[in-house]
Structure 1
Amino acid sequence: LLLAGSLKETTCPPSFLGDEPGQLFERRVEKSFPIAKVTRVKMGFRTVPLCDPDLYPLDVLAVILGDGRTSAFYRAVKDEKELALSIDASSWTPGFAAGQFLISMSLDQKEVDPAIDAVWEVLDRIRERGVDDAAIERARKKVAAAHVFAGQSAASQMRRLASDWITAGDPYFSDRYVERINAVTAEDCRDAARKYFRKDALTIAVLTPASDAVSEERVDVSLAGEKKYGVIEKRLSNQMTLLLKRNPAVPIVTFYFMSKGGLRFEPADMPGISRFMASLLTKGTRTRTKDEIACEIEDVGGSISSGSGRNAVSVSVSVLKEDFDRALELLADVVMHPVFPEDEIEKQRKDTLAEIERIDEAWVAEIQRLFRRHYYAKHPYRNDSLGTADAIKGIDREKIMEFYQGIIMPNNAVLGVYGDIDPKDAARKVEDVFSDFQPQRMSEPVIEMETENIAADRLITKTNQKTSAAVFVGYNGLTLYDKERPAADVIDAVLSGIGYPSGWLHDALRGGEQSLVYYVHAYPSYGIDAGYFGAIAQTTPANYDTVLAAIKEKFKLIREQTIDEETLRRAKSMCITMHEMSLETNGAQARRDVANQLVGLGHDYDQHYAEMIRNVTAFDVQRVAKRLFGHTLTVTTKPESD
Structure 2
Amino acid sequence: MVAMEAGFLGGLRGEAKETGGVSAIAAEMLTKGTKFRTAREISEAAENIAADLSGFSGRNSFGLRVRFMSKDFATGFRLFTESLRWPTFPGEELEKKRQEILGRLKLQKDDMTQSVILLFLKTHYGDHPYARNPLGTEETIRAITREDVEGFYRRWADPRNLVIAVSGDIGVHEALSAVRKAFGDFPRQAGFVPIGPMPVPEGGGIRRGEEPREKEQAHFLIGYTGARITDPDRYALDVLGSALAGMGGRLFTNLRDKKSLAYSVTSFSSEQVDPGFFAFYMGTSVDKRDSAIEDTLREIEEVRANGVTAEEFERAKKWMIGSYEIGLQSNSAYAGKMLYNELYGVGYEETFREPERIEA
- Using structure 2 for the length normalisation, give the TM-score: 0.95
Looking at structure 2, the residues matched to 316 and 386 of structure 1 have their Cα atoms a distance apart, in angstroms, of 19
1:463 is paired with a residue whose SS is coil
Q: Residues 40-59 of structure 1 correspond to what in structure 2 (within 5 A)?
A: none
1:327 aligned partner:
76
Measure the CA separation in 1 of the matches of 2:276 and 2:164: 26
Provide, for residues 561-589 of structure 1, a one-character-per-residue CA deviation record: whole Å limited to 9, x for no partner: 14332222222212222222222211011
1:344 maps to 93
SS of equivalent residue, structure 2 residue 351: helix
- Corresponding position of 1:418: 167
Could you tell me which residue of structure 1 aligns to residue 213 of structure 2?
464
Letter in 1 for 2:256: R
Matches within 5 A, 1:314-463: 314-441=63-190, 442-450=192-200, 453-463=202-212
1:535–1:563 Cα change, 3 Å: closer
Q: Is the 8 A contact 1:525 1:531 kept in 2?
A: yes
1:521 to 266, 279, 283: 266
The amino acid that maps onto 1:345 is: L
Bigger RCO of structures 1 and 2 (CA < 8 A, at least 6 apart): 2
Q: Secondary structure at the match of 2:36?
A: coil
Evaluate the alpha carbon distance shift between residue 358 and residue 566 of structure 1 in structure 2; reply closer, same or farther with a 3 A threshold.
closer
2:325 to 553, 556, 580: 580
**Residue deviations 1:352-411 (CA, integer Å, cap 9, x gap):** 223233431100111011111110021101111111222222221222111111111222
Residue 534 of structure 1 aligns with which residue? 279
Partner of 1:509: 255
Q: 291-300 or 351-360: which moved more?
A: 351-360
Return the offset for 1:440: 2.8
The CA distance in 1 between the partners of 2:241 and 2:349, in whole Å, is 23
1:603 matched to which residue of 2?
A: 348
Cα displacement (A) at 1:430: 2.1
Deviations 1:333-356 (A, max 9, x none): 000111111111111122222323
Q: Which shifted more, 399-408 or 422-431?
A: 422-431
One-letter amino acid matched to 1:414: V
2:6 to 219, 240, 257: 257
Gap change, CA 1:299 and 1:468, over 3 Å in 2: same
Counterparts of 1:426 and 1:547, CA distance in 2: 53
Letter in 2 for 1:614: E
Partner residue in 2 for 1:14: none
Cα offset for 1:551?
Answer: 1.4
For residues 550-561 of structure 1, the aligned pairs below 5 Å read 550-561=295-306
| TM-aligned CA deviation for residue 271 of structure 1 | 1.1
CA-based RMSD of the aligned residues comes to: 1.7
1:514 Cα deviation (Å)? 4.4
Q: How does 1:556-567 map onto structure 2 within 5 Å? A: 556-567=301-312
- Corresponding residue number in structure 2 for 1:312: 61
Which piece of structure 1 moves more, 354-363 or 435-444?
435-444
Post-superposition shift, 1:454?
4.9
Counterparts of 1:108-187 in structure 2 under 5 Å? none
Aligned 1:58-137 pairs, distance under 5 A: none
Distance across 1 between alignment mates of 2:231 and 2:182: 37
Which residue, 484, 488, 495 being the options, matches 2:233? 484
Contact conserved, 2:123 with 2:208, CA < 8 A, in 1?
no
Q: Counterpart amino acid of 1:502? A: G
> Secondary structure at the residue paired with 1:414?
strand
Displacement of 1:505 in angstroms is 0.6
> Aligned partners of 1:461 and 1:422: how far apart in 2?
53
- 1:550 deviates by 2.2
Task: Indicate the SS of the match to 1:437.
Answer: coil
Amino acid at match of 2:178: K
Compute the displacement of 1:412 (Å). Answer: 1.0
Shift of 1:299: 1.1
1:294-329: CA deviation from partner (whole Å, max 9, x where unpaired) = 111111112111111111112111111100111001
Question: More displaced, 543-552 or 597-606?
Answer: 543-552
Q: State how far apart, in whole Å, the 2-side matches of 1:453 and 1:467 are.
A: 34
Q: CA deviation at 1:447?
A: 4.9
* TM-score of the superposed pair, with normalisation by structure 1: 0.54
Distance in 1 separating the partners of 2:235 and 2:175: 35
User: How many residues get paired?
Assistant: 359
Structure 1 counterpart SS, 2:208:
strand
Structure with the higher helix share, 1 or 2: 2
Identity within the alignment, %: 30
Q: Which secondary structure does the structure 2 equivalent of 1:445 belong to?
A: coil
Distance apart, 1:491 and its partner CA: 0.7
Asked if the contact 2:249/2:312 (under 8 Å) is kept, the reply is no
CA distance in 1, matches of 2:255, 2:76: 49
In structure 2, the CA distance between the partners of 1:293 and 1:371, relative to structure 1 (3 Å rule), is same
SS of residue in 2 equivalent to 1:606: helix
- Alpha-carbon contact 1:454-1:476 (below 8 Å) kept: no
Indicate the residue corresponding to 1:153 in structure 2: none
CA shift at 1:595, angstroms?
0.8
Residues 353 and 392 in structure 1, CA contact (< 8 A), matched pair in contact too: yes
State the secondary structure of the residue aligned to 2:110: coil
